[in-house]
Amino acid sequence: MEKSTDVPGKNIAVIAYLTIIGAIIALFMNNEPKHTFARVHTRQAFGLHLMFHGFAIFSSVWFNQYALYGLYLCYIVLWVYGFIGALSNKEQIVPIVGPYFQKWFTFIQ
C-alpha cells in the first residue's frame, strides 16, 4: 500500500497552471495559510501565462506563422514541465525563464 505524501498547497499549485484566471485565483487562495510549494508554482504559472499572452499580442501585430508555431511549442513544453512538477510534488523551476519569474514576481507571497 502506497502512502499519499501530498505537499501542502498542491491543489493551489495545480490550479495555477490551468489558465491565467487560474493563476489569479491561486494568488488569492494562497493568502492564508501561505505555502512555499504553491508560491513557487504560482509564480511559474503566472509568468508563463503572461509571457504567452504578451508574445501572442506582439505576434498578432507582426504576423509570422512560424513565430507563432515556436511560441506555442515553447509555451506547451514549459507548461507541461511545470504542471508535471506540480503534480509530482517537486518545486522544480521552469528552464530558462523560471529563475527570472521567481525574481520578478516577488509580490506573489
pTM, rounded to two decimals: 0.85
DSSP secondary structure string for all residues of 24-75: HHHHHHTSSS--HHHHHHHHHHHHHHHHHHHHHHHHHHS--HHHHHHHHHHH
Model confidence pLDDT, tens digit, residues 5-53: 678 888 999 999 999 999 999 989 988 888 889 999 999 999 999 999 9
C-alpha cell of 98?
523560471
Terminal Cα distance for the chain, rounded: 36
C-alpha cell of 39?
508560491
